[in-house]
Amino acid sequence: MTIQDFDAAMTRAAGRPRYLGGAGAAAADPRRLAANLAAIDAEIDAPAPGVLARILSRLGVGEGTVPLVTATPALRRSWIVAVTVAVLFALSAANSNTGDGVDRIVVFLTLAPLIPLVGVALAFGPRVDPTHDVALAAPIDGFRLFLIRALTVVGASTLALVIVSLLVPSGGVHRVAWLLPAVAATTVTMALSTRFDPRVAAATVAVGWLVIVTVAVSATDAAATFGATMQVLSLFVTGGGAVGLFRRRRRLDVMSDR
């Protein structure tokens, strides 16, 4: 997309050639001049970019990507509410447990990986995104848009969870044992979102995760449940989810009629 394309549209709007011609001298179309003046006004009147947009620009995020990131919270403010409620619930549950330190952390470690799923479930899809059809008819790569949105919400919720982790009263190194399971659950949810509605995918993964943790905790202690085996398994699941997501990424370009 270039200035020439823009000029072509100006010409089209005027319904006549851009230059009126005559004796070899090209006179500018008044409509085009008006459009240019309007463009200058737009530059002068343009609201200052928001804080997030400025931060992203300083981090080197491209001009074409910044609106896609900054629009995500505006599109789905509901996920912020959902994440906040979930984080508060996890924190409350972790602090209200009367067991020893490791037991307290189990509640948090069980719930924390589910929180990014809420964001993914509400960030993309025909039933939760009011602009889904507009985005679908646009040339942007559906996989890229999905990744941008998912990374935006997962990044925000992960940041919130890291802060919450520091507030959990005990648990030592286990306080961050939710991270790899969260990445695995999110990746699998994203992969399943290429086939199912993202909300269904997130709910399925959440139920699966809760079943696994419940069975594991009943069979062993918390330290073992979220220990090295769980972390290694999470890495494998993440790899499998990533492969599945990549292989089915093109479905994200046409996921309208499901």
Encoded amino acid at 99, one letter: G
User: How many whole angstroms separate alpha carbon 120 and alpha carbon 150?
Assistant: 5
Residue number, 10 or 182, with CB nearest to another protein? 10
User: How many whole angstroms separate alpha carbon 245 and alpha carbon 241?
Assistant: 6
- The answer to whether residue 191 forms part of the interface with another protein (CB under 8 A) is no
Contact segment (CB under 8 A) with another protein among 57-65, 98-106, 150-158, 205-213 equals: 57-65
Q: Is 25 exposed, middle or buried (0-12, 13-18, 19+ CB in 10 A)?
A: exposed
Contact predicate 150/94, CB 8 Å: no
User: How many whole angstroms separate alpha carbon 128 and alpha carbon 185?
Assistant: 20
- The answer to whether residue 12 forms part of the interface with another protein (CB under 8 A) is yes
Q: Tell me which residues in 149-168 interact with another protein (CB under 8 A).
A: none
Looking at 24, 60, 96, 257, which residue binds another protein (CB under 8 A)?
Answer: 257
Contact predicate 14/32, CB 8 Å: yes
- The answer to whether residue 59 forms part of the interface with another protein (CB under 8 A) is no
- The answer to whether residue 74 forms part of the interface with another protein (CB under 8 A) is yes
Looking at 27, 41, 155, 229, which residue binds another protein (CB under 8 A)?
Answer: 41
- The answer to whether residue 20 forms part of the interface with another protein (CB under 8 A) is no
Angle at 120 between CA 104 and CA 248, to 5 degrees: 125
- The answer to whether residue 117 forms part of the interface with another protein (CB under 8 A) is no
Q: How many residues does the chain have?
A: 258
What are the residues facing 194 on neighbouring strands? Answer: none
Looking at 48, 63, 96, 218, which residue binds another protein (CB under 8 A)?
Answer: 63
Which residue ranges make up the site for another protein (CB under 8 A)?
Answer: 1-3, 5-6, 8-10, 12-13, 15, 35, 38-39, 41-43, 45-47, 62-68, 71, 74-75, 77, 129-141, 145, 250, 253-254, 256-257
